[in-house]
Amino acid sequence: MKVHFLSARKLLLLIPVLCALGANGQLMQPKEVHTRADSLRGKLTALRTCYDINYYHLDVRMDLDKKSVGGSNLFAFTATQDFKRLQFDLFPELNVERVVFQNRDLPFTREAAAVFVDFPSMIKKGSKASFTVFYSGTPKVAKNAPWDGGFIYKKDKSGNPWASVACQGLGASVWWPNKDHQSDEVDSMLISIAVPKGLQEISNGRLRSITDLKDGYVQYNWFVNNPINNYNVTFYIGKYAHWSDSYEGEKGKLDLDFWSLAEDSVKAKPHWDRDVKPMLKSFEHWFGPYPFYEDSYKLVQAPHLGMEHQSAVAYGNLFRNGYLGRDLSGTGHGLKFDFITVHESGHEWFGNNITSKDIADMWVHEGFTNYSEALFLESMENKATGSAYVQGIRQNIQNDIPIIGPYHVNKEGSGDMYAKGANMIHTIRQLIDNDEKFRQILRGLGKTFYHRTVTTAEIENYISKHAGLDLSAVFDQYLRQTKPPLLEYKIVNNQLSCRWANVLKNFNMPLKVSADGKTFKWIKPGTSWKAIKLAAPVTEDKFMVDPNFYISLQMIK
């Protein structure tokens, strides 16, 4: 959900944002101050780029009574350059007990959430090595998960323990040691979590074994075959019911696993059965094959609203349609599906398969995933329904600050990355003016950037190239400016004149307008006034812009 307009932590979860301070609001806002701790968390220094993570083995025990965690994480890596020092990350609330390399303890120092480790001799470029971090402590407890991040402790209706974690944006190092930067996804991972006997534990990937530790605890061992980002690594602990199914998808049989609280299984099964397979069919059509067949698809009831935990999607929407029973679009269409099932599963393609290197570019996760809701409706009903939905969610746009945030300090941009990001994509779809070509671009993104971390520039360039359009000014206006483009227009003697205002100098996006409210024609305004010839006389009451374009409109008298 990272955190992440709603995730994920999300504004789609309707956390309020600051309103713009009038027409010049962006200039009037005080400059955000970033600390050294922000840079240590968000910047890729040589101490982080010197090694590429290949494999983790996270092996921990959960003490639910003390709300503590203890254990170890093995880092297996390949050196990308010669080095003797590296950085990994762990929040200061957690104690680093030892760092072990080749059976000897290594010296380390700490600053904020960064841990600096010194090796006894040079680690040579291209060599493979590993070290293990032993740690313990009491991780931060989330006050309002998933937005503020941390551990979540609740009870089910019968009083049984129910626990999980959500940490997008905040960082996985809030509860386990890792190289906590989105740009480096581990290639595979073993997650071993010990919990009190009588409870179940669900994590990412596939369950390899359950081991009775003979001390009142059982250890669940889950293996993740595919690259996974740190914030997606998760656990769910509780009294669960489990059932399995399968889906015949584009890559063959996809295993489906469902985990609800035992007490909710009667209502969970029909509710999830209704949406999951149609969702998978729709998203494979639009985006390409589900990206993690090897790890299966799981939907797990969570003690918070939701999060896109890879192959173990967190669900907390109370088995209701809409967003906790509400329609975020105001059209009625948002009550035709379970928002969390569809939205958080959409992140398997955008957020988990394709991941932004820097959280500043999180629109790549949220804009496309927010648009996936409209595409799902289009698949279930028709194009008009999907279009009405994406137009409806414009009511959630704040236009407060740019969608892209500041780089290298682990800060996201505006919550408008959701609804405004989706409407930018919908606008680009109109410019491409060929739905099959647009679909192939979406599928091409999933194939080209399969299991990769990306920058905004890579996504922009791919779309522009395959659309055959220079969309650079469009991306700049919607992603890097606060306000959407404003079309100013005049109607004099039944003739139209118009220009783009509140835009960058090179902004010349074409759009469709109509003189009679029925027949639309392409026009190409510039930043200077231009007379436009339309087939019919233009009148104030009938002139309109195609509502599929997300712009502002102002008539000049």
Is the pLDDT at 549 greater than 80? The verdict is yes
Given this model, what pLDDT does residue 32 score?
72
Distance CA 524, CA 477 (A): 16
Given this model, what pLDDT does residue 163 score?
98
Distance CA 356, CA 95 (A): 30
Residue 457, in any domain of the structure: no
Q: What are the Cα distances from residue 244, in Å, to 22, 93, 247, 275, 375?
A: 53, 39, 10, 15, 27
Encoded amino acid at 179, one letter: K
Identify the residue whose tokens are 């740190």: 230
Residue 515, in any domain of the structure: yes
Instruction: Express each pLDDT in 294-330 by its tens digit.
Output: 999 999 999 999 999 999 999 999 999 999 999 999 9
| Mean pLDDT rounded to a whole number for the chain | 94
Given this model, what pLDDT does residue 306 score?
98
Instruction: Express each pLDDT in 94-138 by its tens digit.
Output: 999 999 999 999 999 999 999 999 999 999 999 999 999 999 999
State the average pLDDT over residues 415-429. 98
Written in H, E and C, the secondary structure of 140-160 is CECCCCCCCCEEEEEECCCCC
The answer to whether 151 and 189 are in contact (CB under 8 A) is no
* Residue 280, number of CB atoms within 10 A of its CB: 21
Residue 546, in any domain of the structure: yes
State the average pLDDT over residues 523-537. 94
Is the pLDDT at 23 greater than 50? The verdict is no
Residue 200, in any domain of the structure: no
State the average pLDDT over residues 148-160. 97
State the average pLDDT over residues 24-45. 75
Instruction: Express each pLDDT in 353-372 by its tens digit.
Output: 999 999 999 999 999 999 99
Given this model, what pLDDT does residue 517 score?
86
Given this model, what pLDDT does residue 33 score?
86
Beta bridge partner(s), residue 545: 513
Instruction: Express each pLDDT in 261-292 by its tens digit.
Output: 999 999 999 999 999 999 999 999 999 999 99
Could you tell me what percent of the chain has a pLDDT over 70? 94
Confidence of residue 31 (pLDDT cuts 50, 70, 90): low
Structural domain span for residue 517:
486-555
Domain count, the chain: 1
Residue 137, in any domain of the structure: no
Residue 521, in any domain of the structure: yes
Given this model, what pLDDT does residue 188 score?
98
| Total-model pTM | 0.94
State the average pLDDT over residues 17-37. 52
Residue 496, in any domain of the structure: yes
Residue 70, in any domain of the structure: no
Q: How far is CA 94 from the centre of its chain?
A: 26
In 334-484, DSSP assigns E strands to 354-356, 452-454
